A and B are shown apart, each in its own frame.
Chain A
C-alpha cells in the first residue's frame, strides 16, 4: 500500500500528545500533528516525539485543524489518511486497521466505530451519557444528511487519497464530525465502519464534549444546514 499518514489535531494536549505520537509513528509513514494554537508545549513535544508539526497561529477549532491536517497530508503525498485524537482515546493499532481497510481499495471513508461490537474488541465501555450523546449525534446527522452511521462523532476516521483530496470542510468546530458524513453523501464516497474499542480515561473525558458544547454543536449543524 502507498504512503500512510496519520493526522492528529491537538489543542493544549501536552499531557498526552507525545505518547500518542510515539505510538502513531510506528504504524504510519508519517504523523502530522496540527497544533491548533496551543498555549502549552504541544508543538515542541509532538515534534520531539517524531511528528511533523504544522501550527495554527490562532485556535480555529477541531474542524479547522482537521482541514489543515488533511491538506498537509495530501501535500506530503498521502495515499491514505487516518485522523485520531491527541488525548489518548484511540489506539495506534486501530489506526493501522483503518489503514488496512482503506488499503483494500473498495472504500473512500472509514469510521472507527465505538458502537459496533465484534472483532474481539471491548465495545460497550462508553459511559452512558456518551452513548446518549452519540445517539443524538447519529440521529441528527441522519436527519440532516441522510446517511446512517453507528458512530458519527468518532474521531478515528480514514480517508482514501481520493477522499482526502476532495474533502471540503467548511466548519471549524466539533460539527466537523457530522460534516464528514455530509461529504460521504455529497461526494458519493464509499463508506465502511470498523469496530474499535471505546477507551475513556479521566483525562479524555475531561477534554471531551460537554453537554453545552453538544447543544451548541447541534444548533450550529441545524443552522448551517438551512442557512449556511
Chain B
C-alpha cells in the first residue's frame, strides 16, 4: 500500500467511525447512516483496489476509473451545492421571520392609543402634481 492509500483509508475509517458515533448518539437517521456507510466503504474499496473503479467505468462506458470518480464527484458536489443553497435560503427566511416578529412586537408595545393625532392631511386636489 502506498502512503496516499494509507492516509485515505485511515481518513475513511475515521469518517465511518464518526457516522457510527453520531448514529449511536441518536443524531443521525438510519437512512443517513446507511448512505454514509456505503459511501465510505466505496471510497475504501476504490482506494485499496483502484482496478474496481476501472471495471465499473468500463461497464458504464467511461474511459478510466479515475475519470468516473471525478465525474461522480462533480455531480455530487453540485448536488450538495444546490442543497446548501436551498438550506441557506430557508435559514435566511427563518431569520427574517424572527427579526420581523420582534420588530412587529415592538410596534405592538409602542403603538399609540387610537386618539393619536395624525399630521394634517392636505386636500386630495393638492396632492396631484400641477398640470403642465
Instruction: Give chain A's interface residues, CB within 8 Å of chain B.
Output: 25-30, 34, 50, 52, 54-58, 60, 64, 67-68, 71-72, 75-76, 91-94, 96-97, 100, 120-121, 170, 172, 223-224, 227-228
- Name A227's contact: one of B86, B100, B103, B120 (CB within 8 Å): B86
Which of B124, B128, B129 counts the most chain A CB atoms within 10 A? B129
Chain B 112-132, CB-CB to A under 8 Å as 1, else 0, gives 000000111110100111011
Count A/B pairs, Cβ under 8 Å. Answer: 82
Chain B interface bracket (under 10, 10 to 19, 20 to 34, 35 or more)? 20 to 34
Contact call B96/A60, Cβ cutoff below 8 A: yes
Contact call B99/A97, Cβ cutoff below 8 A: no
Q: Smallest Cβ distance from B102 to chain A, in angstroms?
A: 6
Q: Smallest Cβ distance from A123 to chain B, in angstroms?
A: 12
CB-CB < 8 A to B118: which residues of A? 25, 29-30
Chain B 38-76, CB-CB to A under 8 Å as 1, else 0, gives 000000000000000000000000000000000000000
Interface of B is mostly: helix
Contact call A54/B104, Cβ cutoff below 8 A: yes
Interface of A is mostly: mixed
Given known pairs A29-B118, A71-B100, A172-B96, the reply for A54 and B106 (CB within 8 Å) is: yes
Bound complex: CA A56 to CA B95 (Å): 11
